[in-house]
Chain A
């Protein structure tokens, strides 16, 4: 972005977000868990018990790690329960906290039914499968609902990008751990998620135009480039030789997993970069003012 903006001693207008590295890791882990649940439900219903079991375990692992990451990000971790003090649709973090709490509870009951034969599993599974996709995507609403330019302006694509990377990572993780006889759906989900993520990144960057610059520069640019390369290579592997060769499928799945994690990091860092540079804050606002005046 080449526009010159006037500033106050070159200082930033917005505050740099205070969110810690736990947050992008949560986007990755929670998103993966959220996509694993509906796959596990469908696998169970379609007679693929090995995939179902692994899917539920992946969802449980993800949803178990998620609160730890989220609580450690808080300035006052001991007050984490205040997240459930109110329910506010104007706050994606509030909606997400409730969704995660419900998803975690339902997943735990589902796994109890799946592995230990405890009661309630059959009823909990559809609940977990319905809440999982909410957990996978609300995080995009959360960051887009801020004043941070490259997050807010990408609000049309980010939910779909997070859905795609969540699907890709859940599919990839389950491709790695599921016996070949039942790994087909996981491999196809990883492939579809990876392909969709690449297409969405392209759309997003094209639509953002000059404001998309932070996604291409600095840490965000480096993470983004590596993510695209890994997701792209993984998708090619999964879509071709991975259908026959277990080794290729595993290597491709590992690449997609790493790429999906890096993509979350790229988005996270791009937000920081755009908040810290007044040209991304003042520039578009100046253009709006000028357009209104014209």
Chain B
């Protein structure tokens, strides 16, 4: 058996039509519970953001006005980024979050004790604790399907191939070609987001082609894995503990009264 390649998603938002088939397929395959049947009033978005029970989220952005010839829709299916340097995984104190043989990041629900550390550590606001259940949940990149040689449910269901699944190396090449094609066609604002292994999280396992700044889609423009600063932070913590001991020792000098 050849070495397993790192698998991921390339989400080309330029061909997303906002059908939400990915949201539905994800929910059905992964048996993700209902996440609120609410009217947000924010365009066609009714799930709002990724969360414990929303593992694919289609964002809808309306730019311009109806009588404005510049009006355009931006639609984008967001998902866990399966970071190369995944803060959620690194801070998890129980080892519930782990890196699979496919290079993806998955929570083991039988280990998670709901400490919530991953929730505060994720620079994308992806993972969350399911209140009625107490544990942290997020996209598994359909770990069970991958083990059976199938593609994830969302990619399978996507009717326009906006969500493409494959070996990450191949996807990066394909994405580069796509962005060059779009720019040659005059879509100057087309750009890749998360394809660069030298970014703050070491590159995303699930990256995107966007048509505007990331924050317009609710994505952070320059995400950094918090654990990059941990060596420095531990150093300061050790110094602070030492200072505390020194302070106590100093307080003991002198009279007792």
Interface residues of A (CB under 8 A from B): 5-9, 11-15, 17-19, 34-35, 38-39, 42-43, 46, 48, 51, 73-77, 79-80, 82-83, 85-86, 88-94, 97, 133-134, 136-138, 140-148, 152, 155-156, 159-160, 162-163, 166-167, 171, 180-186, 188-189, 192-193, 196, 271, 275, 278, 281-282, 285-286, 288-289
Contact = CB atoms under 8 A, between A and B. Distances in A.
A13 B124 contact: yes
A278 B215 CA distance: 9
Given A38-B245, A91-B92, A17 B119 contact: yes
Interface stretch (B3-11, B93-101, B163-171): B93-101
Contacts of B48: 11
Given A185-B256, A192-B251, 15 more contacts: A8-B219, A15-B51, A15-B125, A76-B135, A77-B113, A91-B92, A137-B241, A145-B227, A145-B230, A146-B120, A155-B236, A159-B241, A163-B244, A183-B257, A193-B247
Given A46-B252, A160-B236, A275-B120, A75 B129 contact: yes
A15 B237 contact: no
A140 B113 CA distance: 22
Contacts of B219: 8, 13
B148 to A, nearest CB: 29
B113 A80 contact: yes
A166 B247 CA distance: 11
Contacts, number: 253
A75 B133 contact: yes
Contacts of A5: 215
B250 A163 contact: no
A93 B87 CA distance: 13
Contacts of B161: none
Given A145-B233, A193-B247, A281-B220, A83 B226 contact: no
B111 A184 contact: no
B115 interface: yes
Given A48-B256, A159-B237, A152 B251 contact: no
Q: Is chain A's interface secondary structure helix, strand, loop, or mixed overall?
A: helix
B244 A166 contact: yes
Most buried by A among B218, B229, B239, B256: B256
Contact of A76 (B49, B51, B113, B236): B113
Given A85-B94, A133-B241, A160-B236, A75 B134 contact: yes
Interface residues of B, number: 75
Interface in B167-225: 213, 215-223
26 contacts: A8-B61, A9-B42, A9-B218, A11-B48, A13-B124, A15-B120, A18-B120, A34-B244, A35-B244, A42-B249, A74-B134, A75-B112, A83-B93, A85-B95, A85-B111, A89-B234, A90-B90, A91-B117, A137-B240, A137-B241, A141-B234, A152-B226, A163-B244, A185-B251, A281-B220, A285-B223
Most buried by B among A76, A141, A166, A193: A76
Given A8-B61, A11-B48, A285-B222, A82 B113 contact: yes
